[in-house]
Amino acid sequence: MEVGVLGGGAGGMMAALFAARAGAHVALLEQNEKLGKKLFITGKGRCNLTNAAKGQDFLAGIVRNPRFLYSALHFFSNEQLCALMEGEAGVPLKVERGGRVFPASDKSSDVLKGLERLLGHSYVRVSLRTRVLALEPLAQGGFLVTTNLGQKRFDRIVLATGGLSYPSTGSDGSGFALARTLGHRIEPLLPSLAPIETVEEWPKGLSGLTLKNVTLTAKRGKKKLFSELGEMLFTHFGISGPLVLSLSAKITGEPLEDIGLQLDLKPGLTQEQLLARLDRDIAQAPKKQLQSLLHGLEPKALSPILALQAGVAEETPCYQLNDRQKQALAQAVKGLPLRPKALRPVEEAIITRGGVSVKEVDPHTMESKLVKGLYFAGEMLDVDAVTGGYNLQIAFSTGALAGHSAAGGEEALG
């Protein structure tokens, strides 16, 4: 059995490994000069390769089509990935906050090297600088793959060309065109885990300021869409950081006009506790100006914003603040309003929402329901998750299952 794996990212590498281990002759075609360019930059170069959450807790991290992934995650779970890495690939791992799993060395290159070693041991033929231009099913069975280097026939194909995010890593969407020519429906391609542009201009003035332990809440009318505690930052276009990326996964593709965001800068205090603290601070130094009072509470750069929101001049001596003004200040600190204007484009997103419709893919094998012998893996499928290692695990699990099935190993699954 000749299996061609198209795309040498996380999904493609795992597909190639599992196809080879199931007995196939495997060629892994990658357009870049090296494998796993995106894998290399994951987790800020540390590669958060999976999450240690178990069962339902793991599935809770998957935003789009979690049920489609049951079989793949069962076939090659996060625990099995860790065992493969630590055992056979010789890459010691560690678990950090929130179950995030990283290489102990904090180097994504170690994960990559480990995978490359395993591919070498399994005699996978890696063909770099090989861009797939066309994919054609043959009447007599199998596929003809046309690349910049020529044409080659394969019995089965695993398509693992990734999404549209960070195209400089190679995931430029060409695989979606290939899937389309074979009759597959591509669900709208949208940014997810993306920074957010705000209607308000003031965040731009605070560009670079990071806020830790704040709560970001998104509501449509009274309906709460998102509320989490964490870290975020202001940028030259609006807001970003872990909290904002997670929020984006919940609102991508939704109309944004009627979504309101609220930033709780002091989630550890109730409004009453905050008012009591303001009164205490004022009693200690009644002559100081409002801006100094706010500096004691929040990063300096935020005080003009909070004062403006509360409708009180920053220079106001604290003893002059009346109850209504203090209430307004406490409200600004507990719920600074922001409005999302747009998500940043998919090229700047961590992950692509949408892709090959899962309705047309068999979840037990990752085989196309439309084209026999064609399998899919990784981000090009219409599945995605929150941050924390879930997206790479999706690529690894769907890759493993697709590769194993493509090699004819599906019977072994029972």
Ligand X SMILES: Cc1cc2nc3c(=O)[nH]c(=O)nc-3n(C[C@H](O)[C@H](O)[C@H](O)COP(=O)(O)OP(=O)(O)OC[C@H]3O[C@@H](n4cnc5c(N)ncnc54)[C@H](O)[C@@H]3O)c2cc1C
Give the three-class secondary structure for 310.
helix
Residue 78 CB, nearest approach to ligand X (Å): 11
Which CB sits closer to ligand X, 365 or 398? 398
Per-residue contact string for residues 333-372; x = within reach of ligand X by CB under 6 A: -----------------xx---------------------
Of the candidates 3, 4, 5, 7, which one interacts with ligand X according to CB under 6 A? Answer: 7
**Exposed e or buried b for every residue in 76-110, given b needs 16+ CB within 10 A?**
bbbebbbebbeeebebebeeeeebbbbbeeebbeb
Residue 40 CB, nearest approach to ligand X (Å): 9
- Contact between 241 and ligand X per CB under 6 A: no
Sign of CA dihedral 114, 115, 116, 118: positive
Choose one: 28-36, 61-69, 236-244, 266-274; the region binding ligand X (CB under 6 A).
28-36
Residues in 373-412 that interact with ligand X by CB under 6 A: 378-379, 389-392, 395
Cβ pair 378, 10 in contact under 8 A:
yes
Of the candidates 42, 289, 365, 405, which one interacts with ligand X according to CB under 6 A? Answer: 42
Own/partner long-range contacts of 91-95 (Cβ < 8 Å, ≥24 apart)? 93/49, 95/52
Residue 236 CB, nearest approach to ligand X (Å): 18
- Contact between 249 and ligand X per CB under 6 A: no
Cβ pair 252, 194 in contact under 8 A:
yes
Nearest to 380 by CA among 151, 157, 75: 157
Which CB sits closer to ligand X, 9 or 114? 9
Of the candidates 41, 225, 269, 301, which one interacts with ligand X according to CB under 6 A? Answer: 41
Residue 34 CB, nearest approach to ligand X (Å): 9
Per-residue contact string for residues 160-199; x = within reach of ligand X by CB under 6 A: xxx--xx--xxx--xx------------------------
DSSP 173-185: SHHHHHHHHTT--
Residue 256 CB, nearest approach to ligand X (Å): 23
d(CA 324, CA 26) in angstroms, rounded, equals 72
CB atoms within 10 A of CB 47: 27
Choose one: 159-167, 199-207, 224-232, 311-319; the region binding ligand X (CB under 6 A).
159-167
d(CA 293, CA 297) in angstroms, rounded, equals 7
- Contact between 38 and ligand X per CB under 6 A: yes
How many residues at the interface with ligand X, by CB under 6 A? 40
d(CA 84, CA 265) in angstroms, rounded, equals 42
Cβ pair 38, 60 in contact under 8 A:
no
Residue 51 CB, nearest approach to ligand X (Å): 8
Q: How open is the CA angle 312-316-319, to the nearest 5 degrees?
A: 110
Residue 330 CB, nearest approach to ligand X (Å): 38
List residues binding ligand X (CB under 6 A): 6-12, 29-32, 37-39, 41-43, 47-48, 131-132, 160-162, 165-166, 169-171, 174-175, 350-351, 378-379, 389-392, 395
